[in-house]
Chains A and B, each alone.
Chain A
Amino acid sequence: MPRRTDLRSILLLGSGPIVIGQAAEFDYSGTQAVKALKEEGYRVVLVNSNPATIMTDPELAERTYIEPVTPDWVRKVIERERPDALLPTMGGQTALNVAMALARDGTLERFGVELIGANARAIQMAEDRAEFAVAMRRIGLDTPLGRTVGTVAEALAAAADTGFPSIIRPSFTLGGTGGGVAYNRAEFEELVERALELSPVHTTLIERSVLGWKEFELEVMRDRRDNVVIVCSIENLDPMGVHTGDSITVAPAMTLTDREYQKMRDAAIAIIREIGVEAGGCNIQFAVNPADGELLVIEMNPRVSRSSALASKATGFPIARIGTKLAVGYTLDELPNDITKTTPASFEPVLDYVVVKVPRFAFEKFPTADYRLTTQMKSVGEAMAIGRTFKEAFQKGLRALEAGRPGWVVGATLADDRLTSDSPEDLRVALRTPTPERIFQVKRALLAGLDVDAVAQASGIDPWFLYQLDELVEAERWYAGVPEVGAADLRRMKRMGFSDYQLAQLRGTTEEAVRRRRWDLGVHPAYKTVDTCAGEFPSSTPYLYSSYDEENESDPTGERGVVILGSGPNRIGQGVEFDYCCVRAGLAFRELGLKTIMINSNPETVSTDFDISDKLYFEPLTFEDVIEIVRWERPKGVVVQLGGQTPLRLTKPLEAAGIPILGTTPDAIDIAEDRERFEALARRLGVNQPANGTARSVEEAVKVAERIGFPVLIRPSYVLGGRAMEIVYDAGSLREFFERAARVAPEHPVLIDRFLEDAFEADVDAIADGRRCVIGGVMQHIEDAGVHSGDSACVLPPYLIGDREVEEMRRYTKAFAEALGVVGLINVQYAIKDGVVYVLEVNPRASRTVPFVSKATGYPLAQLAAHVMVGRTLDELGLPDDLPLPGVAVKEAVFPFSKLPGVDSILGPEMRSTGEAMGIADSFGMAFAKAQIAADGSLPLEGAILVTVNDSDKPTVAPIVRRFHELGFRIVATEGTQKYLRARGIPAERVQKVHEGRPNATDLIVSGQVHLLINTPLGKFTQADDYAIRRSALMHRVPYTTTMSAASAACDAIIALRSRTGSVRSLQEWHERTTVESQAPEPANVPPNGEPRPVRA
């Protein structure tokens, strides 16, 4: 059955901004889908609000809509584009939910749009847990006894059957949002209430707990002819009870006999048939009772997923690509295996290596969050490692995580491993609770003499894994006692994945010494190919991993090779935007006839798709792993400026090893990073900096702060597990900060900057070729200074900064680029206060905003940077001095607060957002509205707003509230705010604060009487009050804003949404507009206050 010829135009939905549970993997799958559809000659229409993705590059789809992935906005695209079909399975739960909403409300039928890949019936059956359980019973399979409930009372009745612990899984939420494990009735009621609230259909499943059972996943594909293949089996090291996204997982399954595996395989095939996924892939999770092998089906996702991305990378079988081809009519046997090119896709990959995926968490950014791992996903990224054995892959995976552990090593202190004692008894207790540190607690337990059985019993981890880990412990003991380390000894340890650093630690020497010795002895890794078939067939695709094995299958590339260092696991502050830059540059190098060699460890990404580069090394981004590859490949040079901090911190050691760095020189990077050298440069160029100083003791810190004046921004180099950056207002808080959160010592200096209160901040992205510098964009932050640039919404072009200041920033940026000899990208951050422009920092590398600017202007900055890095000039590339802007573009940050119980949603200098959404429109208000909707789903057009702000914000909030009042909103405020507003003639009703009794502000929120919350922190004594209000808004999905500028922008957005219906326009059309008219951007809308408003600086 070849491809369908009755379809011409296909709509593809992306997954929107990166959030916990829905990350870069959907850029990977979406990008594969677009490419696969294009290859077949279909016209692809794409909707995704996330600008940091490759899939939204305008070259890719025919029509790229950067619009909110919500039913309303996608409907507008459908009306405009009239696609023949909608492929809903590539954009995660978001896309699936939107597709289902459009199917239910008749939109698809009205416009004659067919769902392909998975039909509405199949999606419904897989997603509705009750229907799913019934379907499973029909085919003789068991699920954990479960019942779907819509009220707390029903839930309690269900719990009578399941007993405690009981599992709560809200229907139709992604990443298990709102789910959890309840051990008692009180916890149960709380979790159920939240689950009902968060579920879009307000139901949740109550399940029998299978805590401690083994967890497995199978990735399954089926075509129209009912051919089914299992692409990959994945075994979770952490037993059931921990979300698979938060588990350490291993592929292929390690502890199943063939009998057990085939039983699972048969079940998977029966499931995909029963659910009726007709042409595509799905992920099925199973639990296995370790005591008797009982098999339960946990759930099925009728779409590509994080696990399918992992499985694709783990096996070399591109699930999203093949799934797309199946959706348009092909059968598996008609499609080639893209790796071997000689065998068909209708087979099951076999692995001759072991893959380990390790989750990356961000609890250091959320010290108050509940760090216990449950069925709700909390990790923000992951690293994958490939080795020939479990031990090798496991240790590589841990070091690939870049979380300060060079392998499986215990923390420097007990606290690092979230322990207060390492007595066997306490360890045994700690091991019962899954946490990000548990795997290190396991090591402490084994070191402390607990045996495998004891650890297995406490942790529920299968003894097989623990035996493997115990072998590592034994090997360490042995190695520490070897009289003189020879080649065979080193090889033995390296084959178990030990890094040079670990080996150095074991014998009290240095990493450099170990490496020198190793190199002298000729002990190097060999590179093996991921070929889907365990060597059974020849394979031409160079998808490689290292192992200390015999045969090296990689031929050095030499002078034509360019190594691009990727950005490793996603984390807050370093996400998909850097992967975007790496991929764009990699493609550019290939266009220039060079060979792109990509190194990365993140399985979610496009950069680790084997057909993006000429060679892919799936390796950790540590110096050791990188230098081995570079040493073998002997490339023209290495690109460090595109992958964020990860590759940047390798610059110096690579340079010291004599490796050519492409683009901006390591010295220039050092000037920008080194406080003193940078200060000298700024002085020489005549650019203001906020007053600042460095302190090496608490007393010195106080002195510096008093000299430069409070408030100050502190950036310690050593953090006690709390926030890295903080703004303090007086000497007392400064001292307290050192007691609570950070250490200062001669070897741990602290940077102190004058904090410019109420300043505007701006980011400038530019590209330079060593001579000329072109400004990509000047972005104004919507939030005031003090909110991390990655967490602030921003707008391009600036809307409240004067032309003179904008011009000044452009000039300074060019001066910095010239002075640093930047070849490639540069990003400069500024603050503007009282008409003075201050430089905050200069980053001679790709910034987080590069993809945003590229999408807004139509100029692919990262690609252009690749060109200049290999010697082309901006003139040759035909870059104008001013990149034209066709409209107003707003970027909004997206936060993980709802996934992390216990976290306050107030913004600060520490970045905490996981992703971003973009809105582009003709006016600021509409662009902001689109970005808001894309980021969080809604803005009220009418109703009530609750205002409760601190004294210093009252003057600013009054005119904003007045506008809301004029728009017809009801105003509710707490006492102080209410009095202030009333005194200025704004009718506001009073509501009690939480501690004042009931009903109070949170009651209003919980009962749905508030539609927008404007809240700024009220000060120390009401912190708990404040927090309760924000938290309840968050959990009850009430839009909220914690800064005045965002409140004002929200007002603009609401006006825009009310005055006309938002229209949608594709990026291609926006960019065409620039090239045709080539005019200056339309000025942004009126100042947000609607009344003449002084620039606040």
Chain B
Amino acid sequence: MLLEDGAWFPGTAPLPFEPAYAEVVFTTNLSGYQEVFTDPSYLGQLVVMTAPMIGNYGINPEDIESDRPRVAGVVVRELSLKPSNWRATGGLLDWLAAAKVPIVADVDTRQLTRHIRSKGAMRGVVAIGQGPTDEIRAALAASPSMDGLDLASAATIAREYIEGPKDARHHVVAYDFGMKRNILRLFAQNRCRVTVVPADTPAARVRELKPDGLFLSNGPGDPAAVGYAVDTIRELADGSLPIFGICLGHQLLGLALGGETVKLPYGHRGGNHPVRDLQTGQVLITSQNHGFAVRGDTGGVRGAKALEVTHLNLNDGTVEGVRHREAPIFAVQYHPEASPGPHDAQGHFQQFLQALDSQ
């Protein structure tokens, strides 16, 4: 593993693979590697697992957040080759190999993590060899940077589809910017029928579907690069429809209502981030996975007067949730759908449902 600043971290490749170039990020989730690797928000990222033993419980057909691994590559301290779990249907290595996702093991992942923490997220490459070659260095330098990268377009779906029960209580239109499957599971559990639409669906089509509410999904990349979605959301956020956003959806909502987003030095990725609900004072332990954030503080979101800040991260004070001052529109930066991660914030789904009920 080579980083763009020249730092090199040796490891071993359990299986051969082609070099993969992408932004290098780390996640501190202790469990849930299968969910992480299939989460479309990790599209275009090389993911370093800080938990040292990965692969222990293998893989199964249920714990997936999309139909295949989405990460550009995986870096671990130790890979368990032989899994054990009653639900396991196979091993992690074979599963990644089948999806042509490279994995590097035996890396000092703590050193790598500390490096990223102090130097910031950056591009990197995993490749096979005794050491970095000039060719690899050049290719790394030429690879695209995450800043200004529209990955939502790559992560979204091609055609809209409907999911959920016929006798649904509500109909929700969900913009899929790289949506995690558990979001749909939770909507279904809450008796919602969801029409999932591609990222570039125009506002008119949404109105045509006559939903009770609108959902803006999570997704990868720089929110500022998804201008078309920002424009559409601005159009739809006129107060006529309850809106709920998660992660990228939260950032896009912020941008749509006049706010700005910034790239965080090394992002928040893991399942242990404390977030304060400013209204109740309570602390939620949240699942997070984002490299950008909406700018703001307790005073509000800069540039977006209509929004108030509802949640703050206790570690670094960044904005974790916003709400429209008048309309039933709100969004959170973290992942109430968890998967992986704690369920403390799942109440946001009920909150959205209440907004739909009171329509």
Contact = CB atoms under 8 A, between A and B. Distances in A.
Given A225-B282, A343-B315, A467-B84, A533 B28 contact: yes
Contact of A351 (B30, B87, B276): B30
B56 interface: yes
A817 B272 CA distance: 56
Contacts of B31: 253, 256-258, 261
B46 to A, nearest CB: 17
Interface stretch (A289-297, A820-828, A980-988, A1023-1031): A289-297
B201 to A, nearest CB: 32
Given A343-B315, A347-B274, A354 B52 contact: yes
A317 to B, nearest CB: 11
Contact of B283 (A255, A333, A462, A495): A333
Given A333-B276, A344-B315, A533-B28, A551 B343 contact: no
B273 A467 contact: no
Main SS at interface, chain A: loop
A257 B57 contact: yes
B343 A254 contact: no
B63 A257 contact: yes
Contact of A227 (B51, B110, B283): B283
A63 interface: no
A1017 B131 CA distance: 75
A1067 to B, nearest CB: 40
Contacts of B57: 255-257, 464
Contacts of B84: 255, 462-464, 467
B270 interface: yes
B282 A226 contact: yes
Size range of the chain A interface in the assembly: 35 or more
A536 interface: yes
B28 A536 contact: yes
A257 B78 CA distance: 17
A534 B113 contact: yes
Contact of B285 (A256, A348, A536, A553): A348
A229 B314 CA distance: 14
Given A257-B85, A390-B53, A343 B314 contact: yes
Interface in B107-127: 108-111, 113-114, 117-118
A255 B56 contact: yes
Interface in A264-303: 265-266, 290-293
B315 A535 contact: no
A535 B56 contact: no
Interface in A546-594: 549-551, 553
B61 interface: no
B80 interface: yes
B29 interface: yes
Interface string A321-362: 000000000011100000000011011111111100000000
Interface in A451-470: 452, 462-464, 467-468
Contact of B28 (A255, A528, A534): A534
A91 interface: no
Interface string B155-195: 00000000000000000000000000000000000000000
B16 to A, nearest CB: 20
A308 to B, nearest CB: 18
Main secondary structure of the interface of B (DSSP, over half): loop
Interface in B50-93: 50-53, 56-57, 60, 62-63, 77-78, 80-87
Interface centre among B28, B83, B276, B338 (most CB of A within 10 A): B28
Contact of A292 (B86, B109, B314): B86
B340 interface: yes
B341 interface: yes
B53 A389 contact: yes
A535 B114 contact: yes
B35 interface: yes
Contacts of A467: 80-82, 84
Contacts of B300: none
A388 B118 CA distance: 21
Nearest to A552: B111
A350 B113 contact: no
B202 interface: no
Given A225-B282, A464-B80, A467-B82, A550 B111 contact: yes
11 contacts: A233-B30, A255-B57, A258-B32, A258-B341, A262-B338, A262-B342, A331-B283, A352-B50, A389-B77, A452-B82, A467-B81
Interface of B: 9-10, 26, 28-32, 34-35, 50-53, 56-57, 60, 62-63, 77-78, 80-87, 106, 108-111, 113-114, 117-118, 270-274, 276, 281-283, 285, 314-315, 338-343
Interface of A: 225-227, 229-230, 233, 252-259, 261-262, 265-266, 290-293, 331-333, 343-344, 346-354, 388-390, 452, 462-464, 467-468, 495, 528, 533-538, 549-551, 553
Which 5 pairs across A and B sit closest by C-beta, in order of nearness? A258-B32, A551-B111, A464-B84, A258-B340, A534-B50
Given A389-B78, A464-B85, 5 more contacts: A225-B281, A257-B32, A354-B53, A464-B56, A535-B117
